[in-house]
């Protein structure tokens, strides 16, 4: 069970959201740019490239939303199940629960007497809330919202995916691959740096790491596109 204090949990969640947003944009960028580069390498014209990219944006955003919804829902379900079990234990074995809470406060550094007093007073005020917070690490502010998480995921993915699509729309017809690849690598470096800042890691290392995988993804789809372009054409 989590033993994080309230403010620590809050911090973790805040960083979690920012990193999730950066990761979503990252996914949208890499997958859509790779699609665009692959289709372009097969020798397709701008309309086909844009249709493929747009379909990739929609498919990816939907898939991110669904994945996030399922993941956050199951987390919420697990928290609700924990709370239900706790409620039952409190009703059936209040003495044992009081002892449990006392021991938690003792482990956090209170003397046995004080821990017991705190446990008694908190139990009288809000027994379930105290056990949820101090035993399970669940507080009101961190109960996750599945729909909200799904929408944010879809939107961050789309925000990343729109970049290669816009570039493919305005690039000179013969140079779509070059323009999309270059702009994607620049955007990835910026996102990588941002993600590293959010996670407290080195900016340069974060940027290089993300850019490397983006380059690899585009090289792979360009290879596939070129192979197909040759064999079909």
Is residue 60 within 8 A of residue 157, CB to CB? The reply is yes
Distance set, CA 33 to CA 22, 38, 63, 173, 180 (Å): 16, 8, 17, 16, 7
Using CB under 5 A, list all residues that contact Zn ion: 97, 100, 131, 135
- Shortest Cβ 96–Zn ion spacing (Å): 8
**DSSP class per residue in 180-193:** HHHHHHHHHHHHHH
Nearest-CB residue for Zn ion: 131
Q: Which is nearer to Zn ion, 123 or 184 (CB)?
A: 123
Work out the end-to-end distance of the chain between its first and last CA atoms, rounded to an integer number of angstroms: 60
- Residue 158 tokens, joined: 């789309």
Is residue 19 within 8 A of residue 199, CB to CB? The reply is yes
Q: Which is nearer to Zn ion, 102 or 156 (CB)?
A: 102
Q: Which is nearer to Zn ion, 27 or 97 (CB)?
A: 97
- Residue 111 tokens, joined: 């003397």
- Shortest Cβ 115–Zn ion spacing (Å): 14
Q: Which is nearer to Zn ion, 79 or 100 (CB)?
A: 100
Q: How far apart are CA 184 and CA 199, in angstroms?
A: 22
- Shortest Cβ 85–Zn ion spacing (Å): 9
- Shortest Cβ 137–Zn ion spacing (Å): 12
Q: Which is nearer to Zn ion, 27 or 135 (CB)?
A: 135
- Shortest Cβ 134–Zn ion spacing (Å): 9
């Amino acid at each position: 069970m989590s033993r994080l204090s309230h403010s620590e949990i809050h911090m973790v969640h805040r960083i979690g959201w920012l990193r999730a947003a950066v990761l979503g944009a990252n996914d949208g960028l890499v997958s859509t740019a790779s699609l665009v580069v692959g289709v372009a390498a097969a020798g397709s014209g701008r309309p086909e490239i844009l249709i493929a990219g747009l379909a990739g944006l929609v498919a990816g955003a939907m898939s991110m939303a669904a994945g996030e919804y399922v993941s956050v829902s199951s987390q919420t379900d697990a928290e609700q199940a924990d709370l239900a079990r706790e409620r039952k234990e409190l009703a059936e074995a209040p003495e044992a629960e009081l002892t449990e809470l006392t021991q938690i406060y003792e482990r956090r550094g209170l003397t046995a007497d004080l821990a017991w007093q705190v446990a008694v007073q908190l139990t009288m005020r809000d027994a379930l809330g105290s056990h949820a917070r101090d035993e399970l690490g669940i507080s009101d502010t961190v109960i996750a919202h599945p729909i909200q998480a799904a929408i944010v995921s879809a939107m961050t993915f789309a925000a990343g995916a729109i970049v290669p699509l816009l570039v493919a729309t305005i690039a000179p017809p013969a140079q779509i691959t070059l323009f999309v690849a270059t702009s994607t690598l620049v955007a990835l470096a910026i996102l990588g740096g941002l993600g590293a800042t959010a996670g407290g890691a080195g900016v340069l290392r974060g940027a290089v790491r993300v850019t490397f995988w983006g380059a690899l993804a585009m090289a792979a789809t360009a290879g596939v596109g070129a192979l197909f372009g040759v064999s079909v054409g």
